[in-house]
Amino acid sequence: MEYVIDKNITVRFAHENESGIILQFIKELAEFEKLPDHVTATQELIHKSIFINKRAEVLFCEYKHEIVGFALFFHNYSTFLAKPGLYLEDLYVKPEFRSRGIGMSFFNVLSKIARERNCGRIEWWCLNWNKKAIDFYLKLGAKAMDEWIVYRVTEDKFDTLEKKTEPALPA
């Protein structure tokens, strides 16, 4: 599916033969976030997880027919709303194409997808030092969820978790 935003901007879903381009954007994003050594993704893993196992979806934004940004998202679920949501894992626009409506175009399309799929919300994280992104999100009407703390358990801790048991509380 393709969404024509204007004569210069089109947002479309990534094609199965574009795993290498997705990986390229992931690496560029990691460089921007000062985390290049954290990328362990490979073209093969991306292909399998996105196009075979359907764990996530990728949108590309083309500016004058050149791919200039990507957004990777997947569904989550709100128990309070009893509806699915869209979780935006990554959104990245090449620096030389920023301030041209690319980010807004992604959110325009994500909003349409969320509405079509009866989602109750779109959520994402933003690094606290990325002031330009924060300002942009606030202009969209997004609300910072600063009363929540994000926790993470990584794969290297799964064995430990699986072996742990919590003692029963006294009656």
Q: DSSP of 27-46, one letter per residue?
A: HHHHHHTT-GGG----HHHH
Question: Which carries the bigger pLDDT value, residue 3 or residue 52?
Answer: 52
Residue 168 has what pLDDT?
66
Of 3, 77, 92, 137, catalytic: 137
Q: What is the pLDDT of residues 46-102, one digit of tens each?
A: 999 999 999 999 999 999 999 999 999 999 999 999 999 999 999 999 999 999 999
Residue 161 has what pLDDT?
85
Q: Is residue 168 part of a domain?
A: no
Decide if 137 is catalytic: yes
Average pLDDT in the 15-34 region? 97
Question: Which carries the bigger pLDDT value, residue 121 or residue 3?
Answer: 121
Residue 37 identity (one-letter amino acid): D
Residue 163 has what pLDDT?
84
Q: What is the pTM of this model?
A: 0.91
Q: What is the pLDDT of residues 96-122, one digit of tens each?
A: 999 999 999 999 999 999 999 999 999
Q: Is residue 169 part of a domain?
A: no
Q: How many structural domains compose the chain?
A: 1
Domain harbouring 39, CATH code:
3.40.630.30
Domain that holds residue 121: 2-163
Q: How confident is the model at residue 171 (pLDDT cuts 50, 70, 90)?
A: low
Q: Are 92 and 69 in contact (CB under 8 A)?
A: yes
Q: Is residue 14 part of a domain?
A: yes
Average pLDDT in the 7-32 region? 97
Q: Is residue 171 part of a domain?
A: no
Residue 160 has what pLDDT?
87
- Order the strands of the 57-63 sheet from edge to edge: 2-4, 9-13, 57-63, 66-78, 83-93, 122-124
Q: Which residues pair with 123 in a beta bridge?
A: 87
Q: Are 36 and 30 in contact (CB under 8 A)?
A: yes
State the residue for tokens 């795993």: 19
Q: How confident is the model at residue 162 (pLDDT cuts 50, 70, 90)?
A: confident
Q: Is residue 62 part of a domain?
A: yes
